[in-house]
Amino acid sequence: GENVEQHPSTLSVQEGDSAVIKCTYSDSASNYFPWYKQELGKRPQLIIDIRSNVGEKKDQRIAVTLNKTAKHFSLHITETQPEDSAVYFCAASKGTSGTYKYIFGTGTRLKVLA
């Protein structure tokens, strides 16, 4: 079935350093790849996304890269800050407008040490 693997499961970095989280998906029909940040007991919040016709996207300190051939995509956070500490989930999705089905990765707990 559809599967999304995410690594690492935990990641500790010093404030100011970069953090990289990687995901691999199995369904080659997936065409939309969002990344979510979730704080304890709260709903996931979209931080960046990328569509399958694009290889890279950047938004300030956050960037995402996509390799469709290899079926993997990565999240890059530069100049990390303590408030970046949270759990991050990648997702792979496919569908038509209004019906996109998301399969989530297993999550990465990021700790930014001050």
Partner 1 sequence: GAVVSQHPSRVICKSGTSVKIECRSLDFQATTMFWYRQFPKKSLMLMATSNEGSKATYEQGVEKDKFLINHASLTLSTLTVTSAHPEDSSFYICSATRGIEAFFGQGTRLTVV
- Which residues sit at the interface with partner 1, rule CB under 8 A? 1, 6, 32, 34, 41-44, 46, 49, 51, 87, 89, 93, 95, 97-107, 109
Alpha carbon of residue 34 to chain centroid: 6
* Closer residue to partner 1, CB minimum distance, 12 or 106: 106
* Closer residue to partner 1, CB minimum distance, 16 or 95: 95
Backbone angles phi, psi at 21, to 5 degrees: -125, 135
Q: Is the C-alpha dihedral spanning 28, 63, 111, 32 positive or negative?
A: negative
Give me the least distance between CB of 104 and partner 1, in Å please: 5
Give me the least distance between CB of 88 and partner 1, in Å please: 11
State the Cα–Cα distance between residues 26 and 34, nearest whole angstrom: 16
Within 10 angstroms of residue 38's Cβ, the number of other Cβ atoms is 14
Give me the least distance between CB of 29 and partner 1, in Å please: 14
